[in-house]
Amino acid sequence: MGREAVSVYYDRPNSRLVYVGRPADEGFWDDHWSNDEAAKAVRRKDRFVVKETAARLPKGAKVIDAGCGLAQTVFGLHHSGFDAYGIDYAPRTVELVNSIAPELKVSLGDVRDLRQFSDDFFDGCWSLGVIEHFFDGYDQILAEMYRVLRPGGYAFVTVPSMSPLRRLKAKMGSYPSIDGRDLTGFYQFILSPGSIVQGFERHGFRLISSKPRGGFKGMKDEAGFLRAPLQVLYDMKQPFARMIRAGVDRVISPLSFHTRLYVFQKP
């Protein structure tokens, strides 16, 4: 979602940012993933997901991406030896994935109700940028995630987070208050790391690890007048540009991370 299409407000009591623009419903994601470039992305491995999964689970383990979108995660896991599944609630997107990569087990479904899967069915569950899009909270998602994971199974979760840079900007009053705002176009929350951990622990999960990701993107999104030139570098596909972004990420991610990866375990 382009930054120019949203307004950002600060919800002070809950220490979170609120993005308002077009609601992130099924139609939004179907439109978002309907172009030619998106279609080409279906058969690209998500190496990050494969690497993190392989560090915790053996080949052959059952892993689901709940809210898989274009299913690069499922594609990467499937072709790396895992028994991979994916669900998404955007019908045209699921149809597109099934037509391009019919070997993948990707189906229409709701992350809040995984009734098609029995208790303790999966060894791992991925949730990549999903829970922040639910205005009424994500308790239903966590309850279902806990149910379908076997004891000892892992939940891998990424979510946009309040970095030190964002917290500083909020303290300085850089974001208008949410008070009295019309939230009918709610898009997503930027959540505090503490609230994520507390939410998962409330549902019985145990935190295993947490690390920042996307320092360059976080800096770009919050950089004000520098955002335009940084966006150019962010969009470049050349190897040298990727190296620059990777180097910057390693240095500044603790300050300006856009997301955090959390790994939780079901005891």
Q: How far apart are CA 259 and CA 48, in angstroms?
A: 14
CATH superfamily, domain 7-164+171-214+259-265, is Vaccinia Virus protein VP39 (3.40.50.150)
What number of other Cβ atoms are within 10 A of residue 107's Cβ?
14
Q: How far apart are CA 227 and CA 216, in angstroms?
A: 11
Copy the structure tokens of residue 141. 């998602």
What are the b/e assignments for 37-47, b being 16+ CB within 10 Å? eeeebbbeebe
Residue 77: closest CA among 98, 38, 99, 106: 106
> What is residue 42's predicted lDDT score, i.e. its pLDDT?
86
Judge whether 254 and 212 are in contact, CB under 8 Å. Answer: yes
| Helix ranges (DSSP H) in 55-152 | 72-78, 91-100, 139-148
113: CB partners within 8 A, 6+ apart:
140, 144
> What is residue 63's predicted lDDT score, i.e. its pLDDT?
98
79: CB partners within 8 A, 6+ apart:
45
144: CB partners within 8 A, 6+ apart:
66, 111, 112, 113, 114
Q: How far apart are CA 113 and CA 143, in angstroms?
A: 9
> What is residue 3's predicted lDDT score, i.e. its pLDDT?
41
Task: For the chain, give every domain's residue range.
Answer: 7-164+171-214+259-265
Q: How far apart are CA 25 and CA 158, in angstroms?
A: 19
Question: What counts of helices (H) and strands (E) characterise the chain?
Answer: 11, 10
> What is residue 234's predicted lDDT score, i.e. its pLDDT?
86
| Helix ranges (DSSP H) in 36-138 | 36-41, 47-54, 72-78, 91-100
What number of other Cβ atoms are within 10 A of residue 167's Cβ?
12
Strands 186-190 and 16-20, by their bridges, are antiparallel
Residues paired with residue 159 on neighbouring β-strands, in sequence order: 260
Give Cα 81 distance to the centre of its chain.
23
> What is residue 192's predicted lDDT score, i.e. its pLDDT?
94
Instruction: Give the pLDDT means over successive 10-residue stretches in the chain (267 positions).
Output: 70 94 89 79 89 98 97 96 97 93 96 97 98 96 98 98 96 94 92 96 97 93 85 87 86 94 98
